[in-house]
Amino acid sequence: HSVNVIAPRKKLLTLKQQIKRIINGDGWLSVTNQKQNHFDLLGVKVTYIEAKRPVTSEDLPNADVVIATWWETAEWVAKFADSKGAKVYFIQHHEVFPWLAVERAKQTYNLPLHKITISNWLLNLMQDIYQDPVVSLVPNSVDLDVFFAPPREKQNNPTLGFLYSGAEFKGIDTALKVIEQVKMQLPELRVLCFGNAKPKKNTPLPNYFEFKYNPKQEDIRNVYEQCDVWLCCSRSEGFGLTVLEAMACRCPAVSTKCGGPEDIVKHGENGFLCDVDDVESLVDAALRVLKLSEPEWLAFSNAALATATRYSWHDATDLFEQALNQAIMKNRKL
């Protein structure tokens, strides 16, 4: 396949922004590091748009298919000429957060674009709320060359891990309450976490938390493989990739019923599911995993690994290609 990514050129930090980084303890960010992005590893052609403006048909070559990856880009794609290909909307979350243009975002889900989602929660939303009966499902997978762990036992000290994010829908407030109560019953509890943003002043982490800021992939794996249970307290998740990554590293999970993780966590087999913001249930579930006997925990660990390894990147690629072909065939019938 020939793939061309269209993206805005990343702006360099201003002097004021660099000084703010230094004050916050993040240090000066070199121009080289600022220019690095995840496109560098794709091995595909990337076309950068210099000006901050909507992408138009003139920016793209003619193609078989064109994919929007965010509600704003869906608005742009809907206006493209037919020569740019069948129009697809890759939906990775229900983007109706209060800090966004909510009504505009909602309207994009009604656009005549072929939708590809990553979880049954999103698929059902598109079908039930936005009345689109033809939606493709392509769940995320894990790079098993990056996220793995050798057979292991429980840690000497019970160890809990979670993803830190200051975003309200990620439920850090709930997570902190849960961990505090677990710690009261297991004083020897060790807590590992990581995130791409430093903890906010209004949600500081306790001193005993071991936090890694913006770690490399191999360092993230090292966090997962040290945990006895992975905690997800989100209020909504399009998928919940860290849950699956942790499972690939043989770690059972406790998650809220927040969308995507409901496809991954099998209650009582590889972890437990709890209602959103139900602190008591989350505490009980985390303690259940942490207090499992060695053979019982190993059964959960093996089930977690089986969940993460039964569906590969190759499987996801095949499904995504099938969805694109479906969009192309549907477009030809119009």
pLDDT at 203 over 90: no
Q: Answer yes or no: is pLDDT of 11 > 90.
A: no
For residues 243 and 267, the answer to whether their CB atoms sit within 8 Å is no
Q: Give dist(CA 221, CA 141) in Å, integer.
A: 15
**Within a 10 A sphere around the Cβ of 13, how many other Cβ atoms?**
15
pTM, two decimal places? 0.92
Count of residues in the chain: 334
As a whole number of Å, the end-to-end CA separation of the chain is 24
State the fold for domain 159-309.
Answer: Rossmann fold (3.40.50)
Range among 44-48, 58-62, 294-298 rated most confident:
294-298
pLDDT of 104 over the 80 cut: yes
pLDDT at residue 182, rounded to an integer? 99
Domain 54-141+311-334 annotated CATH 1.20.120.450: no
Query: Taking a C-beta distance cutoff of 8 angstroms, is the pair 199, 304 a contact?
Result: no
> What's the mean pLDDT in 224-234?
99
Residue range(s) occupied by CATH 3.40.50.2000 in the chain: 54-141+311-334, 159-309
Look up residue 208 and give its two tokens.
């005993």
pLDDT score for 80: 97
Cβ proximity of 213 and 233 under 8 Å: no
* Predicted confidence (pLDDT) at residue 202 exceeds the cutoff of 80: no
Q: Which residues contact 198 (CB under 8 A, 6 or more apart)?
A: 24, 25, 26, 213
User: Residue with structure tokens 């091995």?
Assistant: 43
Beta bridge partners of 68: 89
* pLDDT at 180 (0 to 100): 98
Query: In angstroms, what CA-CA distances link 9 with 49, 52, 69, 157, 176?
Result: 6, 8, 17, 46, 37
Average pLDDT score, the chain: 94
